[in-house]
Amino acid sequence: MSAVATTLNVMQHAFRAGIADYRAIFTWKSWLAGWYVRVLAQVAFFALIGERLGDDEKTYYLLVGNSLLIAAQVGVFSLNMTSAERWAGTLPLLVASPSSPVVVFSARGAYLAIDGSLSALGALFIAGPLFGMDLPWPRVLAVVPLTLLVGLASYGFGTFLAGIVFRYRSINSLVVVTTYVSLMAACGVNVPLSYYPEPLELLARFLPLTNGLLAIRGVFAGLPAVEIVGNAALELAVGFGWMTAALMSFNRLASRGRRDGSLDFGA
Amino acid sequence: MRAFRAGFALELWIIRSNPDALMPLFTAPLFAIIFMAIVRQSGRPDLESDALMAPVLMTLLWVALQHAGTLMVGDRWQALLEPIIASPTSLASVLLGRIMSLMCFGLLSFFEVWAVGKLVFGVSIPFEHPVELFLTLVCTALAMAGLAVTFSALLVMTRNAYTFTNSTSFPLYLLGGVFVPVAILPDWIQPVSSILFVSWSSDLLRASVNEAPVESFWPRLGMVLLLGTASFAIGRVVLHYVLRRMRASGELAAA
């Protein structure tokens, strides 16, 4: 079997393991009655702030931003992958195996990008009409691949962070939650990027979600296709950049953990 | 009382050794920045004090749900429930001590939010009615402890307690009117909100930092305490039956 075929084989099995994990957490009923209700409530919470401000445009701005945030938020949940492996006691085995851990992690948590995108689209297409927002047909269809792009870019970012916190299990949840709330604060979700000081605006451009969200706002505003594609390309580049950083750093960080014996769940 | 104090001190030690427990102290300032940015950018300085109060309530609810509400689940996973129940000390007293410790910890978010308002936006929390504000915060923390006992009792036997608590946070923020008053919510939701003490707390907190006199303060504060006490009573009853069932069926250990 060639190296590529072996890698694909590992990724396929890891992806199936991820799906099995997810099915152990949620049934479609508990997903709808638990997770999806939370997602809708989260988006409605912010949209209602717009209502309180008495500004329909602001309501729609908050609704779109916070719907798309869900795709990024779930993508960042990939950080939990390493922690889960550690709790299960399988992390040392994974690191000791000839396959690269990052290949396994990136495939195993790939369902998160799909789940996040579906949750975000489910929130946007249900909460949008509930708040009286216009979904321009057929232009709105462009939102679907753009949301998936946001989910994938955020997933790459989460995988990179997973490498960083690989050896520090005790701060895993702290990093997950702080990261997604930081994305909520910095990526133009609730206020335009121009509201921030210039250095922060520049930094936000290197985070997942920012450029993809601009592309999606462009779809709703009816901006020229070239501008939307430009922002989408930037989102793709950012996601690719974070995934490359993950690939480059993950194995080195894992090796360090192997050397100092900090990989087992007792560490 | 000794069990309560022991539980209180124990939880402080646990917080100290578990950096994840500091999570609300990281998110409260971020939410304060988010809400302040929204109201500032929209030119609504009249909502700035509300924007500062919302993260405090969100933090207390988060602590009640994610930390206090899952205390017993954690104990069960670590096989601590059996020795705790076998000991002569009252489990409820230890539990309440631990939960109150977490609530005091959550109240630190008030000072954080105050600092963020001052340092980042140059706005202080307006202490228009300081006594009312103080009493509301204290009674809210007590009521949250009651709610946490209920969550703790309900979640101890579940397989996915964290999935449940994760799914409950924003629905509670919404129903509790932590930023948007219940009056703005759709009519059909309002009766549900009115039986949640959080909605009374959030209204009172907003009123305490606004210039206008706080109307019917004592009855409204009484409702916070009454509903919080009802939560605690429900939690105690559920805990009693759950523990009896677990003892009878040998389910105290997670395995």
Residues of B in contact with A266 (CB under 8 A): none
Note whether residue B254 is domain-resident.
Answer: no
Q: Is there a contact between B163 and A185 if contact means CB atoms under 8 Å apart?
A: no
pLDDT in tens, A258-267: 777 766 654 4
Instruction: For chain B, give the mean pLDDT.
Output: 88
pLDDT exceeds 60 at position B255: no
pLDDT in tens, A144-187: 999 999 999 999 999 888 878 876 777 888 888 999 999 999 99
Mean pLDDT of A100-115: 84
Contact B106/B138 with Cβ under 8 angstroms?
A: no
Q: Which residues of B15-38 are buried (b: 16+ CB within 10 A; e: fewer)?
A: beeebbbbbbbbbbbbbbbbbbbb
Instruction: For chain A, give the mean pLDDT.
Output: 88
Residue A146's pLDDT is what? 96
pLDDT in tens, B95-144: 888 888 989 989 999 999 999 999 999 999 988 899 999 999 999 999 99
Looking at chain B from residue 85 to 114, which residues have their Cβ under 8 Å from any Cβ of chain A?
A: none
Residues of A in contact with B55 (CB under 8 A): none
Q: Name the percent of chain A in helix, strand, coil, to the closest 5.
A: 80, 0, 20
Q: Is there a contact between A35 and B167 if contact means CB atoms under 8 Å apart?
A: yes
Comparing A6-10, A102-106, B51-55, the range with the smallest average pLDDT is A102-106
Please give the C-alpha separations between residue A63 and each of A10, A41, A146, B35, B147, in angstroms, as whole numbers.
39, 11, 16, 14, 30
pLDDT exceeds 90 at position A225: yes
Contact A167/A249 with Cβ under 8 angstroms?
A: no
Residue A267's pLDDT is what? 42
Q: Is there a contact between A171 and B20 if contact means CB atoms under 8 Å apart?
A: yes
Phi, psi for residue A201 in degrees, rounded to 5: -60, -40
Residue A145's pLDDT is what? 96
- Cβ within 8 Å of residue B141, ≥6 positions away: B60, B100, B103, B104, B106, B107
Nearest residue of chain B to residue A187 (CA atoms): B34
Amino acid symbol at B185: L
Note whether residue B53 is domain-resident.
Answer: yes
Note whether residue B255 is domain-resident.
Answer: no
Identify which of A44, A49, A170 has the shortest CB distance to residue B20.
A170
As a whole-number percent, the residues of chain B with pLDDT over 90 amount to: 44
Residues of B in contact with A170 (CB under 8 A): 18-20
Instruction: Give yes or no for a cis peptide into A138 (omega within 30° of 0).
Output: yes
Asked if B171 is an interface residue toward chain A (Cβ–Cβ < 8 A), one would say: yes
Note whether residue B94 is domain-resident.
Answer: yes
Q: Is there a contact between B163 and A174 if contact means CB atoms under 8 Å apart?
A: no
Centroid of chain to Cα B188: 25
Give the Cα separation of B143 and B63 in Å (integer). 13
Mean pLDDT of B62-79: 81
pLDDT exceeds 90 at position A34: no
**Residue B47: DSSP 8-state:** G
As a whole-number percent, the residues of chain A with pLDDT over 90 amount to: 52
- Written as six digits, the tokens of B23 are 């999570």
Q: What count of CB pairs under 8 Å joins A to B?
A: 96
pLDDT in tens, A48-105: 999 999 889 999 999 999 999 999 999 888 887 777 777 777 777 887 888 877 788 8
Q: Is there a contact between B168 and A38 if contact means CB atoms under 8 Å apart?
A: yes
Q: Which domain holds residue B54?
A: 2-249
Contact B76/B111 with Cβ under 8 angstroms?
A: no
Rounded to a whole number of angstroms, the distance from the CA of B88 to the nearest CA of chain A is 31
Residues of B in contact with A58 (CB under 8 A): 38, 42
Note whether residue B96 is domain-resident.
Answer: yes
ipTM of the complex, rounded to two decimals: 0.90
Other C-beta atoms closer than 10 Å to the C-beta of A201 total 16
Mean pLDDT of B23-48: 93
Q: Looking at the 3D structure of chain B, how many domains does it have?
A: 1
Residue B241's pLDDT is what? 87
